[in-house]
A and B are shown apart, each in its own frame.
Chain A
């Protein structure tokens, strides 16, 4: 997103009911998922979400009602953000998270789960150690930007409007995305469990071996049932991927019937640290709320350090800090160091403003990927 586009979003006028997406399907379906990395809409069952509504007129009325509720919620949230900056962030250290918990509950009532999740995260920032005011301003400002985007939805270009809808937490509009047929290399697959333990989200990162295009496939499972989609890292599957509108074109669904695939036989080509950050920066233009971008980095040398790890370019002096939770380095980082032995490796991971999160690594001269644990 260019500066101009950001301002464009920021400067949109107030909410009009007809500005809401006219074809938004019924609420409450397929949106129980947590705010995801790249897409707020957590609908994992594309087929279900895309089914044509039985009664278009009733569906339209429901969508309008929902849009109106979200508009009310957004207006309330804007007020809270304005109060926050008027009174000063300094008061937040004592205020506690209860204020934001309540605000998040209001957003759930307003049927905007994407906003609810952001609000909850905002409330947790003052407890996150030094530098929290800057982080809180960043996140508060991006939430404000999302609110403004929603209120000015009608004036936004189509892909950005889809991104805003998805970030707010509306399910897929049902609009047909781009279909790409390719041989998809599975770069990583990992699960995360929602804070209440009720939903497992499985992220599968793919890259088209022909198109070079990245894709993120999400699958969900209730407690006790792991998500169904199981693609082993390092395999290549021939399949058609349907990309959803918005969210920087990452979210995709694989059309069924792709089989287990074949081993890839070689490590993917990597880029340097500068190009990795450039890719993330370019993607922000499409989706300003993007936390990170999938990147195959390499050749890089993992550099352990007491105050955080780095992945350093094999040639040159550039490095990316490894994103850390602030605690001890997780087991996966030691695996990465062991694979490297001080020599360059190729690493796939998520590259964002918090740093690089390594997920998969290839030892020098070895085509077999190693999925880094935890």
Chain B
């Protein structure tokens, strides 16, 4: 036995090593040409093969990967880990089924909730599930922020090894950012980083110390490109305060029109700002107890304060200017102007001076209420949820109403939508429901369930309400499951033995799925609760 044959390193190719190479060569050409014995060749090859297999030695190790950074967050409890594995495994199956959905819960819809809840608890993803989690995030970009946050540094490390998961490195701004407290590192990245890194950095600094973000931005402001200035300025929406006013006021003289307009918009959201004061004076001159008199022209001062001179096609100049002035004026200025009336009374006033102006005025107040986050005005403009939608005071647009709702406190918001659903049913409620906080408050949940039941009794089909059903699966409080179960029984077609039981069966199935989903959600959230310390 030669040493070479007896100590082959694992993974090495074979072919040219002494005896074995000769044997393979002879077998390849055939013993017939060399006048050897086939049997002797096979005997020798058997001995050789076994000797080499029995004498295998370890291969030389390739360079090891750099270890992943530590992640101090705990893993979720065991039942929650199993649940995540199920949700991830169910992903493909749930998406593949087309057509009518059965009574089984849609796991794909539950995954985002699981990820969000686990994120709130401060868990990290179980290491063994990272590949499945990254695959899921690759397939569904809506999952990415939460999935990657959960995956953490270990997930980023893993993504660096597999080209399939490159998206995580692109999206994972959280990985490479310096600590916002580390002034030198922040300054260096701000001066040398790519746009996406700088935008991420500005956001992180803004979240920690709003004034520091403005100082950072001011340090390079003059040298930034116009489109970058616009994006950076826009990121100041978060944490906007009176402290930002000097910087924003200076930006009103920017070279770029878009930058100027954005600066003006931000300033108008600060009711104490000088710009808000100037807009108030202009707006008060146009609107009062005597009626509406839109501005006759657009002067240089208005232009500097962000008023766009040219209206879009189909709109009159004067109403266009009026809308912009009222939108940017602090809502608090109207009480004195209307002799101490509150928002609801002001909104209810008939506005003499032309019907078109009144409509423009209300729309502008709606935009102002949203921009200034003024709940009193938002409630006044929303009016009564029971009022017929066509004659609502502020606007009949559901999108506008959803925006106004977002300004109301959570409870008030849910109450308003509950009464809206009670009065008008579900057909127009989808957008408004989307503006409510999850899980839906008790009265809202009950209103939705009652409305679904009413739709069933009215002879509708569940798929006409599939949008609301889908929302309900995600947003209903799991405590509603018991009431739903009763409805499932009511929807059973047993009482209707004729051939027309179709709708009833579909409703029963839809309610069953809703109930099952709610129970699953309840179980899922309970599993995520941290294990009591021993």
**Which residues 32-55 in B have Cβ within 8 Å of A in the complex?**
32-33, 38-39, 41-43, 45-55
Assess whether A301 is interfacial by the CB under 8 Å rule. yes
Assess whether A346 is interfacial by the CB under 8 Å rule. no
Assess whether A105 is interfacial by the CB under 8 Å rule. no
Cβ proximity bits A59-91 to B, threshold 8 Å, 1 near / 0 not: 000000000000000000000011111111111
CA of A110 to CA of B130, assembled, Å: 50
Question: Is the pair B62, A305 in contact by a Cβ cutoff of 8 Å?
Answer: yes
CA of A134 to CA of B11, assembled, Å: 14
Q: A84 to chain B: which residues have CB within 8 Å?
A: 38
CB nearest to B162 among chain A residues? A334
CB distance from A40 to the nearest CB of B (A): 18
CA of A55 to CA of B63, assembled, Å: 65
CA of A277 to CA of B56, assembled, Å: 6
Cβ proximity bits B268-296 to A, threshold 8 Å, 1 near / 0 not: 00000000000000000000000000000
Question: Is the pair B24, A134 in contact by a Cβ cutoff of 8 Å?
Answer: yes
Contact with B28, one of A86, A133, A288 (Cβ below 8 angstroms)? A133
**Which residues 1-51 in B have Cβ within 8 Å of A in the complex?**
1, 10-11, 13-15, 20, 23-24, 26-33, 38-39, 41-43, 45-51
Cβ proximity bits A248-288 to B, threshold 8 Å, 1 near / 0 not: 00000000000000000000000011100100111011001
CB distance from B91 to the nearest CB of A (A): 14
Q: B51 to chain A: which residues have CB within 8 Å?
A: 3
Assess whether B237 is interfacial by the CB under 8 Å rule. no
CB distance from B88 to the nearest CB of A (A): 11
Assess whether B128 is interfacial by the CB under 8 Å rule. yes
CB nearest to A146 among chain B residues? B46
CA of A284 to CA of B47, assembled, Å: 12
Q: Known: A3-B47, A303-B63. Is A277-B128 also a contact (CB below 8 A)?
A: no
Contact with A338, one of B50, B58, B131 (Cβ below 8 angstroms)? B131
Q: Known: A87-B32, A310-B62. Is A281-B55 also a contact (CB below 8 A)?
A: yes
Question: Is the pair B39, A82 in contact by a Cβ cutoff of 8 Å?
Answer: yes
Question: Is the pair A319, B46 in contact by a Cβ cutoff of 8 Å?
Answer: no
CA of A84 to CA of B33, assembled, Å: 13
Cβ proximity bits B48-92 to A, threshold 8 Å, 1 near / 0 not: 111111111111111111111000000000000000000000000
Question: Is the pair A313, B58 in contact by a Cβ cutoff of 8 Å?
Answer: yes
CA of A370 to CA of B127, assembled, Å: 10
Assess whether A138 is interfacial by the CB under 8 Å rule. yes
Name the residue among A6, A82, A85, A90 with the largest chain B CB count within 10 angstroms.
Answer: A85
Question: Is the pair B161, A310 in contact by a Cβ cutoff of 8 Å?
Answer: no
Question: Is the pair B67, A343 in contact by a Cβ cutoff of 8 Å?
Answer: yes
CA of A85 to CA of B36, assembled, Å: 10
Name the residue among B27, B58, B127 with the largest chain A CB count within 10 angstroms.
Answer: B58
Assess whether B154 is interfacial by the CB under 8 Å rule. yes
Q: B157 to chain A: which residues have CB within 8 Å?
A: 341-342
CA of A308 to CA of B13, assembled, Å: 13
CB nearest to A301 among chain B residues? B64
Assess whether A312 is interfacial by the CB under 8 Å rule. yes
Question: Is the pair B64, A312 in contact by a Cβ cutoff of 8 Å?
Answer: yes
CA of A136 to CA of B59, assembled, Å: 23
Q: B38 to chain A: which residues have CB within 8 Å?
A: 81-86
Q: A312 to chain B: which residues have CB within 8 Å?
A: 61-62, 64
Contact with B56, one of A304, A335, A353 (Cβ below 8 angstroms)? A353
CA of A312 to CA of B60, assembled, Å: 8
Assess whether A195 is interfacial by the CB under 8 Å rule. no
Question: Is the pair A6, B47 in contact by a Cβ cutoff of 8 Å?
Answer: yes
CB nearest to A282 among chain B residues? B54
Q: B13 to chain A: which residues have CB within 8 Å?
A: 131
CB distance from B214 to the nearest CB of A (A): 39
Assess whether B158 is interfacial by the CB under 8 Å rule. yes
Question: Is the pair B65, A85 in contact by a Cβ cutoff of 8 Å?
Answer: no
CB distance from A230 to the nearest CB of B (A): 17
Question: Is the pair A338, B49 in contact by a Cβ cutoff of 8 Å?
Answer: no
Assess whether A337 is interfacial by the CB under 8 Å rule. yes
Cβ proximity bits A1-21 to B, threshold 8 Å, 1 near / 0 not: 101001100100000000000
Question: Is the pair B61, A81 in contact by a Cβ cutoff of 8 Å?
Answer: no
Q: B57 to chain A: which residues have CB within 8 Å?
A: 274, 277, 318
Q: How many A-B residue pairs have CB under 8 A?
A: 185
Q: A305 to chain B: which residues have CB within 8 Å?
A: 62
Assess whether A129 is interfacial by the CB under 8 Å rule. no
Assess whether A317 is interfacial by the CB under 8 Å rule. yes
Q: B45 to chain A: which residues have CB within 8 Å?
A: 137-138, 140-141, 144
CB distance from B250 to the nearest CB of A (A): 49
Q: A140 to chain B: which residues have CB within 8 Å?
A: 27, 42, 45
Q: B65 to chain A: which residues have CB within 8 Å?
A: 301, 303-304, 337, 342
Question: Is the pair A310, B43 in contact by a Cβ cutoff of 8 Å?
Answer: no
Question: Is the pair A88, B27 in contact by a Cβ cutoff of 8 Å?
Answer: yes
Question: Is the pair B42, A144 in contact by a Cβ cutoff of 8 Å?
Answer: yes
Contact with A133, one of B27, B39, B47 (Cβ below 8 angstroms)? B27
Name the residue among A90, A141, A144, A343 with the largest chain B CB count within 10 angstroms.
Answer: A141
CB distance from A79 to the nearest CB of B (A): 10
CB distance from A327 to the nearest CB of B (A): 14
CA of A286 to CA of B54, assembled, Å: 11
Cβ proximity bits B114-130 to A, threshold 8 Å, 1 near / 0 not: 00000000000001101
CA of A85 to CA of B157, assembled, Å: 51
Question: Is the pair A303, B61 in contact by a Cβ cutoff of 8 Å?
Answer: yes
CB nearest to B47 among chain A residues? A6
Q: Known: A88-B29, A342-B157. Is A281-B58 also a contact (CB below 8 A)?
A: no
Question: Is the pair B58, A274 in contact by a Cβ cutoff of 8 Å?
Answer: yes
Question: Is the pair A303, B64 in contact by a Cβ cutoff of 8 Å?
Answer: yes
CB distance from B227 to the nearest CB of A (A): 39
Question: Is the pair B46, A145 in contact by a Cβ cutoff of 8 Å?
Answer: yes
Question: Is the pair A138, B49 in contact by a Cβ cutoff of 8 Å?
Answer: yes
**Which residues 128-177 in A have Cβ within 8 Å of B in the complex?**
131, 133-134, 136-138, 140-142, 144-145
> Can you show 7 pairs from A to B with CB atoms below 8 A apart?
A81-B38, A88-B28, A141-B43, A304-B162, A319-B59, A339-B127, A363-B127
Q: Which 9 A-B pairs have the closest CB atoms?
A: A88-B30, A318-B58, A342-B67, A141-B45, A341-B68, A312-B61, A319-B61, A281-B54, A321-B11
Extra A-B contacts (4), CB below 8 Å, given A85-B42, A339-B128: A86-B30, A274-B58, A288-B46, A335-B128
Q: Which residues of A contact B (CB under 8 A)?
A: 1, 3, 6-7, 10, 81-91, 131, 133-134, 136-138, 140-142, 144-145, 272-274, 277, 280-282, 284-285, 288, 301, 303-305, 308, 310, 312-313, 317-321, 331, 334-335, 337-339, 341-343, 353, 355, 363, 370
Q: Which residues of B contact A (CB under 8 A)?
A: 1, 10-11, 13-15, 20, 23-24, 26-33, 38-39, 41-43, 45-68, 127-128, 130-132, 154, 157-158, 161-162
